[in-house]
A = this chain, B = another copy of it.
């Protein structure tokens, strides 16, 4: 009998202090795999809806406690589905309890600061569930591919990221990082669909095709970045994402498990309110 897949099978091995994490290769993960799919799109949607309801309750509890902070980092190539994941997974979660932070190309003011400056400013507060739509990892990946970051500077940024994330974790922050892993073929299909639909042109820029031309360089940079920054306090997961419904279910399952592990409880009733009659 085939082994049931475990979420941990898709976790990038923790950084072990070596310069490279030689146990890890992105090629070992099939972007078209659907290990957490229920088998049909319809029942995936039913499952997602059930998880959504659980997430809503847990998120309210997180908010009520005002202690823990939760940070979900979403990374992936263009069209890998970062926006779509947020839409699908958080459809039923109270918008008051979510904060979604999109990181775009840095502004001149942001560039004038250290690379973690704009990111730290957006770190989750107590009781908050924050989603980074792209993140500080862009500042590792993009300059690497553009040849602006040599190996030593890359290692240094990775170390600073590990230390920054450890500080967040030590400050009651649960961090989950997902790389939405699509195939080059699937990206072609999705990009072409955007080009062929004039009503979608506003989402698209010719420059988007430049990153595609650097596909292998990006995959390699992702591999090195994930290997150097997957830690017990801020693990990376590779999410097979050619199937959108599978991608959504898997990210939702990961988040659900992480929130359940916090054993969140509502604060106890306040004695001071007992028996009070409002006049």
Contact = CB atoms under 8 A, between A and B. Distances in A.
Contact of A212 (B87, B272, B278): B278
Interface residues of A, number: 37
Interface stretch (A46-54, A155-163, A168-176, A262-270): A262-270
B86 A276 contact: no
Interface stretch (A24-32, A111-119, A197-205): A197-205
A195 interface: yes
A38 B201 CA distance: 39
A209 interface: yes
Interface stretch (A2-10, A94-102, A143-151): A94-102
B266 A64 contact: no
Contacts of A201: 267-270, 273
A192 interface: yes
Interface in A239-279: 266-270, 272-273, 276-279
A221 interface: no
Given A90-B95, A95-B90, A96-B87, A199 B266 contact: yes
A142 interface: no
A94 B276 CA distance: 41
Interface of A: 64-65, 83, 86-87, 90, 94-96, 98, 100, 102, 133, 188, 191-192, 195, 198-199, 201-204, 206, 209, 212, 266-270, 272-273, 276-279
7 contacts: A87-B94, A96-B100, A192-B277, A195-B276, A199-B269, A201-B269, A206-B272
Give the 6 A-B CB pairs with smallest separation, nearest first: A198-B269, A64-B202, A201-B270, A202-B267, A191-B278, A192-B278
